[in-house]
Structures are given as C-alpha cells and as structure tokens.
A and B are shown apart, each in its own frame.
Chain A
Amino acid sequence: MSEAPVTESELQAYADGRLDDARRSAVDAWLAAHPDEAERVADYRRLAGALRGAYDPLLEEALPERLAHALRPRLQWKRHAAAAAWLVVGIAIGGIAGWQLHAARPGAAPLGDVGEVMARRAAIAHAVYSPEVRHPVEVGADQEAHLVAWLSKRLGAPVRAPKLEELGYSLVGGRLLPGDNGPVAHFMYQRNQGTRITLYVRTEATSNRETAFRYAKEGQVQVFYWVDRKLGYALSSGDISRDDLFKVANAVYQQLNP
C-alpha cells in the first residue's frame, strides 16, 4: 500500500469519471500497482458503456401513442413540440441576449454582431446534432483525411480538425452545414463518458481580422467564438463548465496557430 489509501467508493467514482484531478491521479498511481483492481475498474467501465449502448437508442425512438398522449388531455400540442420548443426558446433567448448586448455596446464593431450570429448558429447546430446516437456525423473519424479534404474543398479554405486527445476528447467526425457566408464545417468530439463538444468553422466575409475569445450562452449551450483571419470558429458544449470549455478553446486556437 502506498501513501494514498484508495477506498472502494473512490474506485466506483473513478470508474464513473467523477473524481477531482488530485484524487484521480492518486487512484491512477494506485491502480498501476494493483493490476487486478485496474482490470476490475476497466470492466466496470466496459459494462457502463455496454449499458448505455444497449439502452440509449430508446432516447431516439418516437414515443408510442399511448405515452405521447398520456398528458394530451391537459396539453394541446403535438409530440415533437417539446424539441421544437427547446430550440425556439434557445433562439429567443439568444435573440434577446444579442439585442441586449447590442444595446449595451452601441459602439461595438459590426464584427461583434456577426460573431453573435455565428455563436447562435453554432449553438443551434450543437443542440441539434450532439444528442444524435446513430447519426451524429456525416463522415466518421475513421475517414478523417477524407473529411478534412472534403470540408476544405467546400469551404474554399484549408480547415483542420484539431487533436484534442490530451484533453480527453477524440474526434467523432464531421459534417457540412449551410451558413450565412456559405458552407460551414462542423466537427464533433466526444469524451469517454459521452460528453460532446462541437467546433463550428466558417469562412469570414471580411478576412484579415482577428478577435479575442468571446463567450455566449444560448439556452443550455455555452459557446466560445473567435475570428482568425479567413475563418470564424465557435466551440460549443452543453455539459462542461465554462472554464473547461475555455481550456479546449485555447487548445484549438493554439493548434490552429502553431
């Protein structure tokens, strides 16, 4: 036994990815010295993944009539209204927030407003695609070279999918989206627990501009966005903290500007 006694509860929390950095490192070290326990924890993670894989598809299914109508006598609306309402609320909040920001900064550069539009579109794209279980992307990470070449061609500018493994995120893949200035590249990343972030990349009408990171929140989705010469970027998450998202945004920026 080393100087870090590890409890059974901590092993469970470790398997669930819920320890803070300090304790996670301690458990890592302990598991390195206890391979049987390490295997046990790895099995727990595999089983958790199997459970999610087995039952998560239920989230995507259309509701059977009797459940869709379970609350119908009291609710005058249709089955898919919930999802739509969420987006409408998000857009409305975004609109109000954007309007207030605008009102608060009458002298702001026009680019700021354009950026807000981009952040809003990125947040909506995140809300639409990140919950997808079966079809989260058009082209998967297994064809990354093809994905990047295709999106670069469509955007008319070289885009890259940054590597975020060091932060625990692996590339799921990407898709092409319509945007205000033309095609948009949309990359999705995922952490082992299933947390997803998306990177929205579009071409800028006015090149040779650079902005600092800006932050926006649209409904549940947080966005850091910035413009770097020809390309505008917006990084979105619905799950992680603002600080964590900022770390990822920094990593993305640094990789794209070595």
Chain B
Amino acid sequence: MNEAQRLVELIPRLRRYARALVGDRATADDLVQDTLERAWAKLHLYRRGTDLRAWLFTVMHNVHVNRVRASRPTDLLEDEMPELAQRASQGDALLVRDLDRAIARLPTEQRAVLLLVTLEEMSYEEVARALNVPIGTVMSRLSRAREKLRVMMLGQSAAAKLKLVK
C-alpha cells in the first residue's frame, strides 16, 4: 500500500484528534484539511519505512501551532481552573461539552500530549518524537494535563482533597 492510500486511512484518526484538540467540528475539519494539503505537499520529506502516522501527527501539530499563533493570543486561562458542573453522568452531549470546555482550558502543548496518549494511544517515545520535545517534558505535561482536567471535570472536591494530601 502506498503512502497516499495510507494517508487516506489515517484521516478518521486525524479528525478525532483534531476535534478534541480544537473543540468544534468545523474548525477541526479545517485543521484536518490544511494538514492533508500540507502533508501531501511535503510527502517527499517523509522517509519511507518510518512511522507515517507519527509523521502525519507531527505535520498536524505544526499546522495547528501556526494557526493558533496567527489567530489570537491564547492560553490566557492557563492558571485559571474554574469548576465545571459535576454532571458527567447526565448524558453524552453534556459530557462532550464539558470535556470540550475543560480541554480548551489546558495549555495547547499539554492538550496535545494528553490527546495523543489517550486517543491515539501513542507510546510516550512516539509522542516525544511527534512533538519534538524530550520524553521528560512529555511526562510532565501529561501529568499536569491530567491533574488539571481532573480538577475541572471532577470538581473542587478533588482539588481540596489533593491539597490535604500534599
């Protein structure tokens, strides 16, 4: 199977990751489309025999970073973690909306690590390569992203408990 065919096969995975990364369907598909066009244009830079999925997610990461930079200052909310309603069991739509809002409050680089590990089930080494950062950085971003998401999704009770422990 050639690279172009494999690229097509990977589109649903790009969509899933993009949807979680940017929070809405239309923006996510814009990101996927930009990524596919860029990947196609740069395919000669892909080294045969290496992991096409990792390469493609690297391309998507770079496209995303550029789009975010071009659009607006972001991550203003990095240290703010207002509690979202504790209603995760009230239905899928609400849960997805709460997750979208919580993920949106994570710094972009933490979000990317969390989603590549959780949704793509990439190994920590693969994530480090895809994002071009050391593996120690991957682990600390993963840890921070999870803890923030936990506090946001599961409420202040978890945070309070955590402070008591520390």
Would you list which residues of chain A between 1 and 30 have a CB under 8 Å from chain B?
8-9, 11-13, 15-16, 18
Would you list which residues of chain A between 59 and 75 have a CB under 8 Å from chain B?
59-61, 63-64, 66-67, 70-71, 74-75
A40 contacts B by Cβ under 8 Å: yes
Stretch in A43-51, A198-206, A209-217, A224-232 touching the partner? A43-51
**Residue contact B12 to A61, C-beta cutoff 8 Å:** yes
Stretch in A81-89, A99-107, A119-127, A158-166 touching the partner? A81-89
Would you list which residues of chain B between 113 and 148 have a CB under 8 Å from chain A?
114-115, 117-119, 121, 123-124, 139, 142-143, 146-147
A132 contacts B by Cβ under 8 Å: no
B60 contacts A by Cβ under 8 Å: no
A81 to B4, CA, bound (A): 12
B59 contacts A by Cβ under 8 Å: no
Would you list which residues of chain B between 85 and 125 have a CB under 8 Å from chain A?
88, 92, 95-96, 99, 114-115, 117-119, 121, 123-124
Which of B4, B117, B143 lies in contact with A74, CB distance below 8 A? Answer: B4
Size of chain B's interface in residues, with CB distance under 8 A? 45
Which of B16, B143, B149 lies in contact with A56, CB distance below 8 A? Answer: B16
**Residue contact A55 to B19, C-beta cutoff 8 Å:** yes
A58 contacts B by Cβ under 8 Å: yes
List the B side residues contacting A54 at CB < 8 Å: 20, 92, 95-96, 99
Q: What distance in Å separates the Cβ of A5 from its nearest Cβ neighbour in chain B?
A: 16
List the A side residues contacting B29 at CB < 8 Å: 64, 66-67
A86 to B10, CA, bound (A): 13
Q: Which residue of B lies closest to A66 (CB)?
A: B33
**Residue contact A12 to B143, C-beta cutoff 8 Å:** yes
A52 contacts B by Cβ under 8 Å: yes
Q: What distance in Å separates the Cβ of B2 from its nearest Cβ neighbour in chain A?
A: 10
B5 contacts A by Cβ under 8 Å: yes
List the A side residues contacting B53 at CB < 8 Å: none
List the A side residues contacting B88 at CB < 8 Å: 50
A243 contacts B by Cβ under 8 Å: no
**Residue contact B161 to A51, C-beta cutoff 8 Å:** no
Q: What distance in Å separates the Cβ of A224 from its nearest Cβ neighbour in chain B?
A: 24
B8 contacts A by Cβ under 8 Å: yes
A39 to B154, CA, bound (A): 12
Determine the main DSSP class of A at the interface with B: helix
Q: Which residue of A lies closest to B102 (CB)?
A: A47
B54 contacts A by Cβ under 8 Å: no
**Residue contact A50 to B99, C-beta cutoff 8 Å:** yes
A193 contacts B by Cβ under 8 Å: yes
A56 to B19, CA, bound (A): 10
A142 contacts B by Cβ under 8 Å: no
A39 to B12, CA, bound (A): 33
Q: What distance in Å separates the Cβ of B36 from its nearest Cβ neighbour in chain A?
A: 4
List the A side residues contacting B124 at CB < 8 Å: 13, 18
**Residue contact B11 to A52, C-beta cutoff 8 Å:** no
Q: Which residue of A lies closest to B100 (CB)?
A: A54
> Would you give the 0/1 interface string for A28-39, flagging 1 where the beta carbon is closer than 8 Å to chain B?
000000001101
Q: Which residue of A lies closest to B20 (CB)?
A: A55
Q: What distance in Å separates the Cβ of B111 from its nearest Cβ neighbour in chain A?
A: 11
> Would you give the 0/1 interface string for A160-198, flagging 1 where the beta carbon is closer than 8 Å to chain B?
000000000000000000000000000000000100000
14 A-B contacts, Cβ less than 8 Å apart? Answer: A8-B143, A12-B139, A12-B142, A39-B161, A44-B146, A51-B20, A51-B114, A51-B118, A52-B119, A58-B19, A61-B12, A71-B36, A85-B5, A86-B9
Known A51-B118, A71-B4, A71-B40; further 6 A-B contacts with Cβ < 8 A: A12-B142, A43-B158, A44-B146, A47-B146, A58-B19, A82-B5
